[in-house]
Structure 1
Amino acid sequence: MIVFSNTTPLIALNGIGQLDLLPRLFTEIHLVGEVIEECAVGGIIRVPDLRALPWVKVVESTPVQYPTVLLELDKGEKHTLDMARKLNADWVIIDEKIGRNMAEYLGLKVTGTLGVLLKAKQQNWIPSFRDAAAAMVRQGIRYNHGLVDKLARQVGE
């Protein structure tokens, strides 16, 4: 299974100590160099050296095939979606609304950080979906409260 991730899900999951959910759910995560660079820049939430993680497959991006369609996206999103399309990815993990819309426009299947948490809760790998989502919000990651409530109800919270 080919799964690509953008920057925000990596930062959000690492911020709550749940980055290891990704290989548990998907075995291997493909990351373009631009996403690794964005994570390495740092910020409030630090991300480990992604190249050193055994479950990360680094994909060197090529020139973007649809530059005008992807113009509104940042560098990491643009190259993630482009390479996901070129490699016929099964999933793209991306949170930003415009990026999700573009991924769907390009025919890619999309999930986000909340989707990762939902699957993890369904597997009983985390004690509470709602608590994990709230912890990400406390770290400065923003999510639609209505969506969090809707997903929490799906797992009985």
Structure 2
Amino acid sequence: MNLNKQAVSNSSPLILLAKIGKLDYLFNLFENIFIPLEVYKETVVRGIHDGFQDAVIIDEAIKIKLIIVKETKKMYKEDELKQFLHEGEIKAISLAKELSSNTILLDDEEARIYARNIGLKVKGTIGIVIDNVLSKKITKKEGKESLKKLNRIMFLSGEIYEYALERITKIE
């Protein structure tokens, strides 16, 4: 699996991967990670204010330009999207459209469905772990350990957790 050129991320993949000490999984897969200013405020500004260590990790990645904060020039269908998505998700979708990014990183189901419907390739935190195993950036054992850690800190249905474990197990 070749390194993808770029992705735009919403807050949750950054926060979750930073919480388990695996933010580097993003950099294994993408040359450039962009986030809108709103996602920076959610992940770093509020996170540091509230004393979250993951916010410091994300901020360090921004300081060394592994993650690039970029403001959107215009909002994509803002009035329509405000009814069912959070501002960070709307701005991430807008930035992905603006940059013609081939991938957007989202975990929220409604945001994922909407992004797919407008032609964006969607990847979530679990998919990022699986892709790291597929691309041989990490071992199956590391992938399973990361999945277990994520299962402790995020809502994963038993069905999704088992599916992800099975996907990792079957990788050659």
Query: TM-score, normalization: structure 1?
Result: 0.90
Aligned counterpart, 1:32:
36
CA RMSD of aligned residues (A): 1.8
Secondary structure of residue in 2 paired with 1:128: helix
Does 1:47 pair with 2:55?
A: yes
Distance 1:124 1:55 in 2: 17
Alpha-carbon contact 1:11-1:45 (below 8 Å) kept: no
Q: Distance in 2 between matches of 1:124 and 1:65?
A: 34
Higher helix proportion: 2
1:129 corresponds to 2:133: no
Return 14-23 or 58-67, whichever deviates more. 58-67
CA shift, 1:80, in A, is 0.3
Which residue does 2:97 correspond to in 1? 85
Residue 156 of structure 2: aligned partner: 143
Residue of structure 2 in register with 1:69 after alignment: 80
- 2: CA distance, partners of 1:21 / 1:52: 18
Q: Deviations over 1:39-95 (max 9, x none)?
A: 021155632215313211221122313013311211111100011012211100100
* Structure 2 residue matching 1:2: 3-state secondary structure: strand
Q: What is the match of residue 115 of structure 1?
A: 127
Q: What SS is found at the alignment partner of 2:62?
A: helix
152 and 137 in structure 1: CA distance in 2 versus 1, 3 angstrom threshold: closer
Residue identity in the other structure for 1:18: K
Decide which moves more: 101-110 or 64-73.
64-73
Structure 2: stretches of 5+ with no match in the other structure: none
Task: Supply the distance in 1 between the matched residues of 2:126 and 2:85 (Cα, whole angstroms).
Answer: 21
Partners of 1:130 and 1:145 in 2: CA distance: 14
Query: What SS does structure 2 have at the residue aligned with 1:57?
Result: strand
Q: Is the 8 A contact 2:76 2:93 kept in 1?
A: no
Q: How many residues align?
A: 156
Counting aligned pairs with the same residue, the percent is 24
Match 1:14 to one of 9, 15, 18: 18
Aligned partners of 1:46, 1:103: CA distance in 2, in Å? Answer: 26
Q: Is the 8 A contact 2:151 2:161 kept in 1?
A: no
> Unpaired segments of 5 or more residues in structure 1?
none
Runs ≥4 in structure 1, deviation > 6 angstroms?
Answer: none
Quote the Cα distance in structure 2 between the aligned partners of 1:130 and 1:102.
Answer: 29
SS at match of 2:55: coil
